Amino acid sequence: MLPQYSLVIPIYNEQETILELYRRVSAVMDRLDGTVELVLINDGSRDQSLKLIREIHQQDQRVCYLSFARNFGHQIAVTAGLNFARGQTVIVLDADLQDPPELIPDMVEKWRQGYQVVYAQRTQRHKETWFKRFTAYTFYRILKNLADVEIPTDTGDFCLMDRQVVDVLNSMPERNRYIRGLRAWVGFQQTAIGFERDPRFAGDVKYSFHKSLALAVNGIVSFSKVPLRLSTYIGLLSAVIAIIMALLVIYWRFFAGSSTLTGYAALIVAVFFIGAVQLVSIGILGEYIGRIYEEIKGRPLYTLAEVAGFDNKSQQSAI
């Protein structure tokens, strides 16, 4: 029989938190009013995470897991979890206990009221560096202004989704997955639930600056064409400035009686400025073209090394 709820948790080098995570999550699972499965995705961890996951699976038949053949990244891990989850309602949360599992019953309550997506919105972040808070704050606001769809600010992947929504997400073929954006794009009845983001239970942040930046660029490029237009606007602006300057030069030469024109420094600055604008524009083009290339290659999103606990065989062979 298919479970009512699926909890999807991506795990990357979380050996210090897994047991505590399981303790807190299973307490919540016991409180839920239906059958629950816990889908753990091991995203190529290099520590003891997989061993601990196997142990939990041995003890508790509600626990199933996938293990990737290497690290594919958080968004892909969540995607795989959504592919395999069988529940009528699917809840995604982080493994580090920054997303309190105790919020799940409240989310379920909202779902009962008829919402198909209930996302958790951070009202506060505890013990995260000022740099992370500042960059996250700015990024979410820029994205909100640029994106074609309304992507709510300060929401992560912690959310509850109805089966209908998960099916739509699963049917989306795109490789560069910015799940919180796709989730907003899908539509349906959505609502937020506020929470204070706890500090990590243990261990270091698994999102390096590089990974966070890649995620941010992905969010913008996947949901907005404004950067592409930006180079057109800057180009037009430079053209206008160039025309004004040309007119000024003609005026100085013929009407103001200046026989020599100086301004070597200004010239060099202008050359560098235009050079910079062109390079940035090419870079922006490159971002989009790179994405087209990724999509067109059509490689699978992830490779699985191990799958356990899903008795539905067809699902396993589908990937």
Query: Which of Mg ion, ligand UDP, none lies near 157, with the C-beta cut-off 5 to 8 A by kind?
Result: none
Token pair recorded at residue 193: 């639930």
Q: Is 123 within 8 Å of 137 (Cβ atoms)?
A: no
Closer of 243 and 305 to ligand UDP (Cβ): 305
Query: Which of ligand UDP, Mg ion, none lies near 252, with the C-beta cut-off 5 to 8 A by kind?
Result: none
Closest distance to ligand UDP from the beta carbon of 313 (Å): 26
Token pair recorded at residue 190: 């959505």
Closest distance to Mg ion from the beta carbon of 94 (Å): 5
Closest distance to Mg ion from the beta carbon of 199 (Å): 9
Q: Which stretch binds ligand UDP (CB under 6 A): 143-151, 204-212, 220-228, 286-294?
A: 204-212
The distance in angstroms from the start CA to the end CA of the chain is 22
Closer of 127 and 313 to Mg ion (Cβ): 127
Q: Is 197 within 8 Å of 96 (Cβ atoms)?
A: no
Rounded distance between C-alpha atoms, residue 288 and residue 285, angstroms:
5
Query: Which of ligand UDP, Mg ion, none lies near 12, with the C-beta cut-off 5 to 8 A by kind?
Result: ligand UDP
Rounded distance between C-alpha atoms, residue 128 and residue 137, angstroms:
12
Q: Is 206 within 8 Å of 45 (Cβ atoms)?
A: no
The two most distant CA atoms of the chain are separated, in Å, by: 93
Binding ligand UDP by CB under 6 A: which of 14, 16, 37, 154?
A: 14
Taking each helix axis as running N to C, give the angle between helix 179-186 and helix 163-170, from 0 to 180 degrees, rounded to the nearest 10. 120
Query: Which of ligand UDP, Mg ion, none lies near 91, with the C-beta cut-off 5 to 8 A by kind?
Result: none
Q: Which residues bind Mg ion (CB under 5 A)?
A: 96, 98
- Is position 73 an interface residue for ligand UDP (rule: CB under 6 A)? yes
- Is position 81 an interface residue for ligand UDP (rule: CB under 6 A)? no
- Is position 71 an interface residue for ligand UDP (rule: CB under 6 A)? yes
Query: Which of ligand UDP, Mg ion, none lies near 238, with the C-beta cut-off 5 to 8 A by kind?
Result: none
Beta-strand relationship, 304-308 and 63-68:
antiparallel
Rounded distance between C-alpha atoms, residue 286 and residue 166, angstroms:
31
Q: Is 80 within 8 Å of 44 (Cβ atoms)?
A: no
Binding ligand UDP by CB under 6 A: which of 207, 252, 288, 310?
A: 207
Closest distance to ligand UDP from the beta carbon of 206 (Å): 3
Closest distance to ligand UDP from the beta carbon of 2 (Å): 25
> Segment 95-124, which members bind ligand UDP (CB under 6 A)?
95-96, 98
Q: Is 69 within 8 Å of 303 (Cβ atoms)?
A: yes
Token pair recorded at residue 30: 């016991």
